[in-house]
Structure 1
Amino acid sequence: MTAVQLPELPDLPGKRFPRRVPVRQILCLVPLLLVTVVAVRHRSVLAEGFGQLRTAEWPWLLVAVGATCLTWVAAAFTRQGAVVERLPRRRLLATQFAAGAANHLLPTGLGASAVNLRFMTVCGVPLARSSAALALYLLAEAVGRLGLLAALLVAFPDALRLGTLLPHGAVGPLFAAVGAVLVVAAGVLVFVRRLRTAVCSFLRTALGEARSVHARPARALALWGGSLAFPALQATGLAAVGLALGLPVPPVHMALAYLAATVAVALVPTPGGIGSVEAALIIALVAAGGPAAVATAVVLAYRIITVWLPLLPGALTLGALLRLKVI
């Protein structure tokens, strides 16, 4: 029986697997791309703001820069105070600096919240408790800002002409809109059982986290001390810029105008409040007695210091934290 000779098959080339797309490296470049887009869109504001800085008194500008840097320290204290676990200090501070840049590139509060939520989960805090700590931070920051504003309004009742801050007849529709939103939200919670269950579970987790935090005096002090220091330092920065440009308004009145303006635009979903914050600050400073031209110069210079100067290094820090898997 003769053996059957099979035909020789041609050598097949080795199977090539596609290279993995470096997703994390691409994400590192996204903040820089967003910074470029935002800067191009607001190039006229940047040019005018830097022009105002050239005519200012530099000692007061250095005070404003120092107050701005301390806001990241205050934010780090508040973030640590909102969670029981001890977070790495240097990474926490770097994360707040990066979160500031993310906050100016995404709708207000969303960027910083996402960065800090990711940071806490990487540090080993469960997602449910990280979300509860984030909610506690936002609550403390809002209470601190509103409490500081209320205290200044009581101490200086004539500092602002409040009638100029809101259009005539706008208060009634505003409260009606807020009431309608609350009624709709309550109705959804009543009739959608799954959503109601999720909300109740989150509230139980948040209340438990708040009790645990306040059972430790050091955490409670960091939480509430930082939540008061953060808006106070921001207001100090604006007052320092006002003094640098010769705005004829007392510094405390400028601080009160800043708090009132930021509270007024808190619900405006614009990236970092860009546009809405400038307009509200100018209106508030004019309501405090400042000339419109000087108030505009002060606001532009202040936003250059607090937003545009830290934006590029903040974006670079954000990219570095992504690459190092800190967030």
Structure 2
Amino acid sequence: MSAPSPLAPPPGSPVPEAPSRPVPSPSGRSLRLALCLAPLLLAGCWAVADRPVLYEGARRLVAADPRWLLAGFGCTCLTWVAASCVRQGALPDRLPAGLLLASQVAAGAANHALPGGLGAHAVTVRFLRARGVPLDRATASIGLYSLVKAAAKTLVLLVLLTVSPAWRRLGGLLPDGTELVPAAAVAGGLVTGVGVLLTAVRPLRRPVTALVRTALADARVVHALPCRALALWGGAVAMPLVQAGSLGCVGAALGLELPWPEVALAFLAAGTAMGGAPVPGGIAVDAALVWTLVAFGAEPAPATATVIGYRVVTDWLPLLPGALVLSALIRAKVL
């Protein structure tokens, strides 16, 4: 008969219970539920307050020209191609084109859950890690993607401001100087706080410094390769143009009666002003876009219908195929 193990409890002693997982407090669950429902509550309040405009917009969307709506969906599909080009251009490693395009289709579905493109970035990082790209270089490519995308969007906006006379109407949409002071103070405080943290906390400074060093090294490599630089900047410039093209097609289907340059300018101006709002689904951008289209001379009903149709064509119609592609990539262990 073998001797009992010295690590075993004595015979007859109570068996210790396994540590249980901490149960979230009711207040914590309530807070998370409130944060998840806040965008829906805001959208519901807006719909209740503007019932006549919303009803007229939905009625116009049902009677819209399906050919223009199909063209708008085609522009939405082109955004996946443009995003794939920018993702490939931001990384020196060659990625499989088909799987990269599929990952961007799936990333569009993931963007419904998280604001600011975080869902798409998370899917892309998992895709790059599965392709053998180290985590620091995958994260650095996300930073380069975001930086180039913002720079290209600003460049396109400046060009449209130069060629379109409608830029004068944007002056009435800008807040007064007194309203900009608190926003500037908050932004300055955030930048100062981040700088102090990076300077004082060494365990935080080291990984951030290494990430910046990796990003700069990869940026030099991709800009030394003409094909990568063309994919990076060409895709970044094409992305806002095809997005604005989708909005213009939906507007043409609904009788918006605004020239395409003004529609594109309204789209870029609203996205630049409200794109950083931490709200999933682009609710803040949609409200700003309706406001900007009306300021450019559109009637409220067709402007609202155009924005609703744009959201249907660019978000809700691609949601089902995007979710199916995301599930297929997970089952195939591509993500």
TM-score, normalised with respect to structure 2: 0.81
Residue 182 of structure 1 aligns with which residue? 191
Where do 5+ consecutive residues of structure 1 fail to align? Answer: 1-36
CA contact (8 A) 2:166 2:262 kept: no
Counterpart of 2:98 (choices 81, 90, 108) is 90
**SS of residue in 1 equivalent to 2:298:** coil
> What one-letter code is carried by the residue in structure 1 that aligns with 2:83?
A
Counterpart of 1:288 (choices 282, 285, 296) is 296
Tell me the CA shift for residue 248 of structure 1.
2.3
Tell me the CA shift for residue 194 of structure 1.
1.9
Distance in 2 (CA, whole Å) between partners of 1:50 and 1:83 is: 43
> What one-letter code is carried by the residue in structure 1 that aligns with 2:267?
Y
Distance in 1 (CA, whole Å) between partners of 2:252 and 2:181 is: 37
Distance in 2 (CA, whole Å) between partners of 1:138 and 1:55 is: 38
Distance in 2 (CA, whole Å) between partners of 1:272 and 1:203 is: 30
Distance in 1 (CA, whole Å) between partners of 2:181 and 2:67 is: 45
Tell me the CA shift for residue 157 of structure 1.
4.3
After TM superposition, the structure 1 = structure 2 runs for residues 1-327 of structure 1, keeping only pairs within 5 Å, are 51-159=59-167, 161-168=169-176, 169-273=178-282, 275-327=283-335
CA contact (8 A) 1:241 1:301 kept: yes
> What one-letter code is carried by the residue in structure 1 that aligns with 2:208?
V
> What one-letter code is carried by the residue in structure 1 that aligns with 2:64?
A
**SS of residue in 2 equivalent to 1:210:** helix
User: What's the % identity of the aligned pairs?
Assistant: 50
**SS of residue in 1 equivalent to 2:280:** coil
CA contact (8 A) 2:106 2:326 kept: yes
> What one-letter code is carried by the residue in structure 2 that aligns with 1:268?
A
Tell me the CA shift for residue 155 of structure 1.
1.8
Residue 13 of structure 2 aligns with which residue? none
Tell me the CA shift for residue 167 of structure 1.
3.8
**SS of residue in 2 equivalent to 1:105:** coil
Residue 3 of structure 1 aligns with which residue? none
**SS of residue in 1 equivalent to 2:293:** helix
CA contact (8 A) 1:160 1:253 kept: no
Where do 5+ consecutive residues of structure 2 fail to align? Answer: 1-36, 48-53
Residues 51 and 122 of structure 1: CA distance in aligned 2, closer, same or farther (over 3 Å): farther
> What one-letter code is carried by the residue in structure 2 that aligns with 1:290?
A
Residues 160 and 308 of structure 1: CA distance in aligned 2, closer, same or farther (over 3 Å): farther
CA contact (8 A) 2:92 2:228 kept: yes
CA contact (8 A) 2:82 2:238 kept: yes
Tell me the CA shift for residue 311 of structure 1.
0.8
Distance in 1 (CA, whole Å) between partners of 2:99 and 2:166 is: 43
Distance in 2 (CA, whole Å) between partners of 1:153 and 1:200 is: 37
Residues 303 and 142 of structure 1: CA distance in aligned 2, closer, same or farther (over 3 Å): same
Superimposed CA distance per residue, residues 176-223 of structure 1 (whole angstroms, 9 cap, x where no aligned partner): 221221111112112112212221111100000101111110000000
Distance in 2 (CA, whole Å) between partners of 1:210 and 1:325 is: 29
Distance in 2 (CA, whole Å) between partners of 1:187 and 1:106 is: 28
> What one-letter code is carried by the residue in structure 2 that aligns with 1:209?
D
**Size of the alignment, in residue pairs?**
288
Tell me the CA shift for residue 65 of structure 1.
1.1
Residue 24 of structure 2 aligns with which residue? none
CA contact (8 A) 1:159 1:288 kept: no
> What one-letter code is carried by the residue in structure 2 that aligns with 1:60?
W
